[in-house]
Chain A
Amino acid sequence: MRIHSVLLTLIALQAILPVSSALAIDSIEPQRAGPSTPPPRTAVDIEPQPLSMPPLYVQSLAATCANCHGTEGRAVNGATVPGLAGRSADELVAQMKAFRSGERKATIMHQIAKGFSDTQTQLLADYFAAQKR
């Protein structure tokens, strides 16, 4: 059992308690490497979402990446597609932006990346940064 996901779930469970929902997203922060200042969010969100998303929702969102990048972002052995777990959130956000802009060429990821808003991308990046490699 991995400590990070245990914590996330415990915190998710507290979501029914009158805990300020703003804490939910912050709760991912301590495991995150890199600068503590989040990158500026642009105004190109397709579907703006509240930043106070309970961890269970984030886990559910991140599960849409698992088909190709592995459960909780951990790639299978010998994978040709990289894992996402334990990578810097800033790097993941930058890569997603590069896919979207076309700066980074791809066979498929440029098409998938365009399906996620800047807010969702930030939530995903923070989630994967907090996962054990």
Chain B
Amino acid sequence: MDRRLFLQASAALALGTSSINAHAMRGAKVVVIGGGYGGATAAKYIRLMSQQRIEVTLVEPEQSFVSCPLSNLVVGGSRTLADLSRPYTSLTKQHGVTHARDVAVAVDPVARTVKLSGGSVLSYDKLVMSPGIDMNFSSVDGLTEAQQQGKILQAWKAGPETNALRKQLEAMPDGGVYALTIPEAPFRCPPGPYERACQVAFYFKRHKPKSKVLVFDANQDVVSKPALFKKAWADRYPGMVEYHNQHKTVAVSAADGLIKFDVHDSVKADVINALPAMRANKIATQTGLANMANGRWCGVNYQTFESTAAKDIFVIGDAIQVAQLMPKSGHMANNHAKVAAAAIVAQLSGIEPNPQPMLTNTCYSFIDDRNVVHVASVHEYLATERTFKVVQGAGGLSAEPSELEGSYANHWARTIWADMLE
């Protein structure tokens, strides 16, 4: 290092002075909507990367973060929701993030304000939108009503519904049928449905061995880790898990326990777990950010994750129109958040955003209570193509399920939660 620069930096630190751009950053306001894997990470990293110069308010109604990854284990019975929950307090105490326990109900991209349900209005210089997904219940006839009655659940956001689905399985008699329906990709958590089939089978194998797990997938094949999941079903749950591809669910009836498909014959089940099509959360769509895929997903400039529909709004996580081979996963949302955080800090301090951001992704899936498989990828931004592409030759899958990967999966969860919150 240049000793002179080092001394300059030390002197600046000692005197509490800062350069022009630090000046620009000071007092700048960022609002983050949503405290999931994306939003919580963005809030922390904007504080970290700006040396606490940028004021950050996280708009999140809950007191604690609850992880969707690992929540299939709550359905399977080997974890509780409490195991997957972490309070937001360290984000406030350690990083100085303001936690507004409220829901964002309207964004004005011109006035740069966020209105909360409690009536208060937050102004921002930059807004991070990490709202997650909404279910398009109307994509399956009868689902809206059945869902409102609490009879047909999704449990696709970890929380009370996760426990409610578990209770439905516990109430089901041995010899009963659990049916999981999967919409056409893209949906939140590509390996999630297949892991859930494993977890329900894990529970049935020990407690209700005459029962069946039927998986009806609108896609051509298992969307993530197909060979590993199919082998797990065949090896560990023989005769229990039945997988049916190209079965698009068009209607459900809670009263009859009936699932109707677009082509194939209808099927009856005791517990129906119907996942409808998904789209960007309402706050993003009503702000006009969902400008891709017929209004389903939010287009972003991948170099920064700034919306292609509104300046100074950065959309991250499951709500975005993904680049090629980019999964809608918690790990990916965490990585989006860091690219967006660095871009926001760069913009607010007057330097160019990183021209070549990188992302990593790892999705671990539990095939029982301790054996795990993974898929991993590394993504690089290519300025010439203005998108992320996977680095060829990198990434890959597990060779087979293992307890060693189970320990890494648990470690991954603890570490990424700390990376978001602590």
Contact = CB atoms under 8 A, between A and B. Distances in A.
- Pairing of A with B: yes
A61 B420 CA distance: 16
Contact of A10 (B1, B12, B351, B422): B12
B122 interface: no
B179 to A, nearest CB: 33
B202 interface: no
Interface string B292-322: 0000000000000000000000000000000
Given A27-B1, A67-B415, A79-B411, A115 B395 contact: yes
Contacts of B341: 60
A63 B350 contact: no
Given A10-B18, A13-B22, A30-B6, A69 B415 contact: yes
Contact of B376 (A9, A66, A111): A111
A17 B49 contact: no
Interface of A is mostly: helix
A46 interface: yes
Given A29-B1, A112-B376, A116-B378, A10 B13 contact: yes
Given A7-B6, A60-B338, A67-B419, A107 B374 contact: yes
Contacts of A93: none
Contact of A76 (B44, B402, B415): B415
A30 to B, nearest CB: 4
A75 interface: yes
A79 B393 CA distance: 28
Contact of A81 (B346, B393, B411): B411
B286 interface: no
Given A67-B334, A81-B411, A107-B374, A14 B19 contact: yes
Interface in B394-422: 394-396, 398, 402, 404-405, 407-408, 411-412, 414-416, 418-419, 422
B314 to A, nearest CB: 14
Given A7-B9, A7-B13, A112-B395, A47 B380 contact: yes
B411 A108 contact: no
Given A80-B407, A114-B378, A64 B5 contact: no
B351 A9 contact: no
B45 interface: yes
Interface string A96-131: 000000000001100111111000100000000000
B391 interface: yes
Interface footprint category on B: 35 or more
B407 to A, nearest CB: 5
B1 A26 contact: yes
Contacts of B346: 56
B51 interface: yes
A28 B50 CA distance: 18
A64 B358 contact: yes
B299 to A, nearest CB: 22
B419 A66 contact: yes
B6 A13 contact: no
A95 interface: no
Contacts of A27: 1-2, 5-6, 9
Q: Output the residue of A13, A64, A80, A81 with the most chain B CB within 10 A.
A: A13
A9 B418 contact: no
Q: Output the residue of B5, B25, B346, B362 with the most chain A CB within 10 A.
A: B5
B394 A67 contact: no
Interface residues of A, number: 53
Interface in B335-381: 335, 338-339, 341-342, 345-346, 349-351, 354, 356-360, 362, 374, 376-380
A111 B396 contact: yes
A56 B418 contact: no
Contact of B1 (A17, A28, A59): A28
B87 to A, nearest CB: 16
B342 A57 contact: yes
Contact of B49 (A59, A67, A70, A115): A59
A75 B339 CA distance: 21
Contact of B51 (A6, A29, A76, A111): A6
B356 A6 contact: no
A49 interface: yes
B138 interface: no
Contacts of B377: 115
B418 A70 contact: yes
A33 interface: no
Contacts of A43: none
Given A27-B9, A63-B342, 17 more contacts: A6-B51, A12-B349, A12-B351, A13-B349, A14-B5, A17-B19, A23-B5, A46-B393, A56-B346, A61-B354, A61-B357, A64-B358, A66-B338, A68-B362, A76-B418, A115-B378, A115-B395
Nearest 4 CB-CB pairings of A with B? A115-B378, A115-B394, A60-B342, A114-B394
8 contacts: A6-B51, A9-B49, A10-B51, A13-B18, A57-B342, A60-B342, A108-B405, A115-B380
